[in-house]
Amino acid sequence: MPERRHWRWTEAAPLGRTIHCGEREWQDHVLARHPEVRRYEAAVRATLRNPDAIYDNPRATANAAHPTALVQEFYGVGYTGGYYAGKLLRVIVKWLPEGPGGQLVGYLRTAYLTDRIPRWLQWHWGRELR
């Protein structure tokens, strides 16, 4: 990921790792494809800070352009109401090793509302939501 001086926001994820969200990613990867998430930006950030569950995504990891990238999905429960009541908030993060120690740094890929968790995801952390 190119070095940036300004991010739309940065969150501290579990285990002390950092996740960045750029303005372009938020506009082009989230809002352009999932406009209903506009009102849930605070919930996206809260899901990254304190997810109900994290799942590894082996398919996306295998297809990542960077050979040591890791793709994970963070899930938040109970953030939606009204028409979207009962939906899960699904936030996808790509982790890349950076710096001399190769510490993993996360970058928001997308976020959207969903009814279910794909069966092929591998449970990683938190409570299993299946």
Range of the domain at 105: 9-114
Distance CA 112, CA 124 (A): 20
Residue 103 lies inside a defined structural domain of this protein: yes
Residue 110 lies inside a defined structural domain of this protein: yes
How many domains are there within the chain? 1
For position 37, what pLDDT does the model report?
96
Residue 121 lies inside a defined structural domain of this protein: no
What is the average per-residue pLDDT within 75-95?
92
For position 114, what pLDDT does the model report?
96
For position 5, what pLDDT does the model report?
64
111 token code pair: 């976020």
Residue 124 lies inside a defined structural domain of this protein: no
CA torsion angle 4 49 121 60 (round to 10): 0
**Is residue 101 pLDDT above 90, yes or no?**
no
Residue 87 lies inside a defined structural domain of this protein: yes
Q: Sign of the C-alpha dihedral, residues 16, 22, 27, 28?
A: negative
Residue 126 lies inside a defined structural domain of this protein: no
Q: What is the DSSP string of 76-88?
A: E-S---GGGTTPE
β partners of residue 90: 75, 112
Residue 1 lies inside a defined structural domain of this protein: no
The greatest distance separating any two alpha carbons of the chain, rounded to the nearest whole angstrom, comes to 47
Residue 42 C-alpha from the chain's centroid = 13
Residue 123 lies inside a defined structural domain of this protein: no
Distance CA 91, CA 5 (A): 23
Span 20-65, pLDDT tens digits = 999 999 999 999 999 999 999 999 999 999 999 999 999 899 988 8
User: Whole-prediction pTM value?
Assistant: 0.89
Instruction: Kindly report the number of other CB atoms within 10 A of residue 119's CB atom.
Output: 6
